[in-house]
A = this chain, B = another copy of it.
Amino acid sequence: MSAAAPEPPESSIDAFHRGAFFLAQPAGRGHRAGLDAMILAAAVPSGFSGRLADLGAGAGAAGLAVASRCPHARVVLVERDPEMLDYARRSRALPGNAALRERTEVLDADVTLAGEARAAAGLADRAFDCAIMNPPFNAPADHTTSDELRKSAHVMPPETFEQWIRTAAAIVKPGGALALIARPGSLQPILAALAGRFGEARIVPVHPRAEEEAIRIVLRARKGSRGGLSLRPPLVLHEAEHIFTQRADAICNGKASLFGD
């Protein structure tokens, strides 16, 4: 940002899926957050029908993107942060989202809750057909981690995935799905947390350019399946600086699903 850039407004309203839905969100957030949410949403099959929980929904980007692309999805945006909850509610209330409002709700709940407390917060066992999650990279516990570990690994504390995936396994019906987006460095705690809960994990690495390391992984798995892990061809985002590949453009704009289903 140049020194001459205007003071950023407190919040903004941004169009996604080429104007199919809108998001009220704090201004000054990077482009990446929206991109991650769009890619995560694309992991849900286009024909998905049923209840979907967007765990840690923030302003609702991923959940609304699923509702926008999948006309039979009923989406619950789950968030615990009061400010982000407010943005999620404002997003849902935007005039441009009127068509999605009936299939969307906002739930004030902490994803890391367990047992009766979780059910009491509105996340009942086996109440969903699918859960999606884009856990925050800088979870509160991160601040207690040593500088060296944070610098070298760029991962969340392993317990974050254990807690989030434990909740997903509880609230999803047998045979239901979990989709998540995360950094490649989190693969080990993710796979450890999936073990015994979700199988048939399919991973798509996301590379900024074909010749660069993956910056994200998208994973989809099925509750109770014994099926093994598979690695799909990568999603390459850019052909050149600021130019999306055709596939990335379709995926980020709600025109294609990531797993081709």
A residues whose Cβ falls under 8 Å from a Cβ of B: 148-149, 152-155, 183-185, 187-188, 191-192, 194-195, 199, 205, 207, 210-214, 217, 225-234
| Contact A228–B185 (Cβ < 8 Å) | yes
Report how far A234 CA is from B227 CA in the complex, Å: 23
Selected A-B contacts with CB under 8 Å, 8 pairs: A148-B226, A152-B199, A187-B187, A188-B192, A188-B194, A191-B192, A210-B233, A233-B234
Report how far A3 CA is from B205 CA in the complex, Å: 43
| Contact A184–B226 (Cβ < 8 Å) | no
| Contact A152–B234 (Cβ < 8 Å) | no
| Contact A205–B231 (Cβ < 8 Å) | yes
Report how far A171 CA is from B199 CA in the complex, Å: 34
**Residues of the B chain whose Cβ atoms lie less than 8 Å from the Cβ of A207:** 233
| Contact B227–A152 (Cβ < 8 Å) | yes
| Contact A188–B185 (Cβ < 8 Å) | no
Say which residue of B148, B192, B231 sits within 8 Å of A213 (CB atoms). B231
Taking the nearest CB of chain B, how far is it from the CB of A234, in angstroms?
A: 6
| Contact B233–A212 (Cβ < 8 Å) | yes
**In the complex where A191-B191, A205-B205 touch, is A184 in contact with B229 (Cβ < 8 A)?**
yes
**Residues of the B chain whose Cβ atoms lie less than 8 Å from the Cβ of A155:** 228
Please name 11 further chain A to chain B contacts, defined as beta carbons within 8 Å, in addition to the given A152-B199, A152-B227, A153-B226, sorted by A numbering.
A152-B228, A184-B228, A184-B231, A185-B230, A187-B229, A188-B195, A205-B231, A213-B230, A214-B231, A217-B231, A233-B234
| Contact A184–B149 (Cβ < 8 Å) | no
Taking the nearest CB of chain B, how far is it from the CB of A224, in angstroms?
A: 12
